[in-house]
Structure 1
């Protein structure tokens, strides 16, 4: 790899001297380069792949990407991707898992954080058990473009896999674009508010944080500007909302919060749980309640429940 070249230098006596150029990065063996970049994060690997042919070739090595995959990635493939081509390389498996994959009829989304390889999940409002959800006097499913798996800020650097898939644009765009649930649940008014959900999944070893993504008020666009109607928001400042989390191995977490910020999407932290055995399915249950029969509650948008590794590299900002 790499080619040497000669340069002619002339001495005062007009005699020419042939000088061998010093070795460059292109002269490094691909195996050595691959051993080095295996210690880097995926975005860094992709940037280095643009240096020269040696780095690009090294960045395609299976063992480089296998080290980035979760330890139980074979189980994740069966759960998330289903049937895969037998000859699919590890980098393509990593890319497929980084895409937002659909489970349970589109009510759940699963993807890998592109930088850390951590497993992230999102469960839409339609995948939750909501008191009175089928009664249109209380709830409606409204179409929206604001039901996001991650805020816009989490898309920074989301095209880092472009370097590997210039010949497969379909897969590249599948990875790059945000996946949006078609609707959110909008509460008009109700006395007894309770939302429950559960998820069983082969989580890799680690600590995970669980959030409800909520907004007070109903948003729309007027003359290209985002506006939020808070006319029907009421009852949430009377008592705190209680969030709870349980796992199949006996872990429990709870928190309380007064909902008093209108007009923006906020992730309310339910709690954390820890996974010790990546080879077993971890079942988690979670709930959100505000039981107060003296005041009605209304004007709430329920988007989803989201689960992230504690060291999630995507920026969890409010919308």
Structure 2
């Protein structure tokens, strides 16, 4: 009977150890290096951390401001991406999940298609200290709200389910936003993959209560029509984010890994549903597209 020979990690060639580590997750590599001194040198190698970077990371680097993206190793680059990087002239944020290495993006308000956004009578562009972008946009007044965001499927991680979220705030002077439901949807090319209704609801006490009573019958009638027309829709509500902004889910979609998916475009939308009443006070930060875990 042959005697089994046990081999220590220190006896393995470094390229063999680095190959093993590259098949793990970024979190596993960091934990292994912290727990085992024999793995630390291999855990710092560029070939290990390059395996966690997206295949198009050179293109992403070229779209970022060089002064804000300084690194010496692929490990440093990976964690720079994990901390979010402004790209495309500051109009998008690119991010990697530090546990999975999956991509996510935030499209700024400037990167969105917003009806009448460049008309000062309807919308006001301004700097905000709590914004990650140079500016966001606040709705002054309009009777028609329509916001669209577009992203090429090839920019996302393959074989991953994503959620799209409108990031916004509602100012204290807001009015008319929560009277009628909005329609939110996600399309991949021309295929509708998600379709729901939601309220941009924000409670400011008596003002909200009076406004709600004023439009109550109108709201009930419209909601009934919406529910009859969208049998599979689910009424959704906003949620508060850790960064102080509010988000509402526009929908979910799956990013495949085939060549046919590579050239598709994801369209994320929020639109008015036959309301045509005046509204104002919506502050738009952007749309986030992030993987669902």
Instruction: For residue 211 of structure 1, report the CA deviation from its aligned partner.
Output: 0.7
What is the CA deviation profile of residues 148-173 of structure 1, one whole-angstrom value per residue up to 9, with x for unaligned ones? xxxxxxxxxxxxxxxxxxxxxxxxxx
Structure 1 partner of 2:137: 185
Q: Name which one, 1 or 2, has greater alpha-carbon Rg.
A: 1
Instruction: For residue 237 of structure 1, report the CA deviation from its aligned partner.
Output: 2.3
Specify whether residues 216 and 29 from structure 1 end up closer, same or farther in structure 2 by C-alpha distance, changes over 3 A only: same
Q: Larger relative CO (CA 8 A, sep 6+): 1 or 2?
A: 2
CA RMSD of aligned residues (A): 3.0
Take 2:59 and 2:264, find their aligned partners in 1: how far apart are those partners?
Answer: 13
Partner residue of 1:79 out of 38, 42, 59: 59
Specify whether residues 104 and 89 from structure 1 end up closer, same or farther in structure 2 by C-alpha distance, changes over 3 A only: closer
Task: Classify the secondary structure of the residue corresponding to 1:233.
Answer: strand
Q: TM-score if structure 1 supplies the norm length?
A: 0.64
Take 2:190 and 2:31, find their aligned partners in 1: how far apart are those partners?
Answer: 41
Instruction: For residue 98 of structure 1, report the CA deviation from its aligned partner.
Output: 3.4
Q: TM-score if structure 2 supplies the norm length?
A: 0.69
Structure 2 partner of 1:41: 25
- Structure 2: where are the runs of 5+ without partners? 1-7, 67-71, 205-239
Take 1:50 and 1:241, find their aligned partners in 2: how far apart are those partners?
Answer: 50
Partner residue of 1:298 out of 273, 277, 280: 280
Take 1:59 and 1:235, find their aligned partners in 2: how far apart are those partners?
Answer: 55
Give the helix-richer structure, 1 or 2.
2
Specify whether residues 239 and 309 from structure 1 end up closer, same or farther in structure 2 by C-alpha distance, changes over 3 A only: same
Structure 2 partner of 1:286: 268
Take 2:98 and 2:150, find their aligned partners in 1: how far apart are those partners?
Answer: 25
Alignment of 1:1-319 (within 5 A): 31=14, 34=18, 37-38=21-22, 40-50=24-34, 53-70=37-54, 73=55, 76-82=56-62, 90-92=74-76, 94-95=78-79, 97-98=81-82, 100-147=84-131, 180-202=132-154, 203-205=156-158, 206-217=160-171, 230=172, 232-248=173-189, 250-261=191-202, 265-277=245-257, 280-292=262-274, 294-311=276-293
Instruction: For residue 275 of structure 1, report the CA deviation from its aligned partner.
Output: 1.7
- Structure 1: where are the runs of 5+ without partners? 1-24, 148-179, 218-229, 312-319
What is the CA deviation profile of residues 210-247 of structure 1, one whole-angstrom value per residue up to 9, with x for unaligned ones? 11112111xxxxxxxxxxxx1x2111222111111111
Q: How many residues align?
A: 235
267-276 or 291-300, which moves further after superposition? 291-300
Task: Classify the secondary structure of the residue corresponding to 2:75.
Answer: helix
Take 2:197 and 2:46, find their aligned partners in 1: how far apart are those partners?
Answer: 46
The answer to whether the 8 A contact 1:124-1:303 is kept is yes
59-68 or 234-243, which moves further after superposition? 59-68
Task: Classify the secondary structure of the residue corresponding to 2:137.
Answer: strand
